[in-house]
Amino acid sequence: GTAAAGACLYYLLREDGSEAKEADGEPKKISGEATKEQVITILRGILKSQEKTKALMKEFIKDILNEDLTFEQAYERVLQKHPDDPLEQYGLTMPDFDNLLDKYQHDPQIKDLIVRIMSSSAPSEPNPRGQTIDKAKVIQVHEYMKQELQKLVDYIQKSSTRSELDVKNVTLTAQAFVGAKVQKKFGLTSEDVESAVIYNHKELAVDPDFVRVNIAIQTIMNQLIVPQFAM
């Protein structure tokens, strides 16, 4: 349902931001019941910011590879350039936003924007290289991603500065860092891997190894997202 979409959107928002502001440059806070127009404005801002973040991710991965950045250096780079969190800009919590989506769940404009946001991580253009990567290689890459992500989470949790780290930016940095590791080892960009997953999706959807490794990756990522991380 729409509530589930709202929850998914929230995780997308943890990595993205919105540039929608009032004329005076200050974030537009929403108090009480939001209008349909306000919800549309927020969703459009999210969509725009995701496009910006997607471009930034390519830049971050390139910097990590070319400059051999440490995690701390990569985090500082992300901290300098990341977009703001749109929910914070509008003074909304995840449950608030979820409720707004439920309220307008049957509106065609809002449904269309939600679909566009949820599919924004897919490659914007067909990537022929994805067709050359078979199911076994996709699973191998994801196994490597899982291993590198676990190493990174373990490192962060042992860091003496972990309480100073922002969860949203840690998550974004982790994705860029692991993306750089994959590109260095396999010569595959994030777009290559995404395209390969799409091309092999029918086989992957019923492959127990792929399902298992995806669940494992999500579980590890949740270790970065849970509130205890910053304590």
The closest of 17, 38, 9, 22 to 118, measured between CA atoms, is 9
Are the beta carbons of 100 and 36 closer than 8 angstroms?
Answer: no
Q: What is the largest CA-CA distance in the chain?
A: 53
pLDDT at 193 over 80: yes
* CA 95 and chain centroid, separation: 19
Range list of H helices, the chain = 2-13, 36-67, 71-81, 86-89, 94-103, 108-118, 135-158, 167-186, 190-199, 201-205, 208-225
Long-range contacts of 4-11 (CB under 8 A, 24+ apart): 5/101, 5/114, 5/118, 6/94, 6/97, 6/98, 6/100, 6/101, 6/102, 7/94, 7/98, 8/118, 9/46, 9/97, 9/101, 9/114, 9/117, 9/118, 10/87, 10/94, 10/97, 10/98, 11/225
Long-range contacts of 128-132 (CB under 8 A, 24+ apart): 129/188, 129/192, 129/195, 129/196, 130/192, 130/194, 130/195, 130/196, 130/197, 130/198, 130/199, 131/195, 131/196, 131/199
Residue appearing with tokens 């091309």:
199
Total Cβ atoms within 10 A of residue 17: 23
Confidence of residue 185 (pLDDT cuts 50, 70, 90): very high
Mean pLDDT for the chain overall:
83
Q: Between 68 and 50, whose confidence is greater?
A: 68
- The model's pTM is 0.76
Task: Say yes or no to pLDDT of 182 above 60.
Answer: yes
Question: Tell me: the pLDDT tens digits for 151-179?
Answer: 999 999 888 887 888 888 999 999 999 99
pLDDT for residue 227 is more than 80:
no
Q: Is the pLDDT of residue 200 over 80?
A: yes
Q: Which two tokens stand for residue 135?
A: 């199911």
Taking only the tens place, the pLDDT of each residue in 7-63 is 444 445 444 443 444 444 555 667 557 788 988 988 988 888 888 888 999 999 999
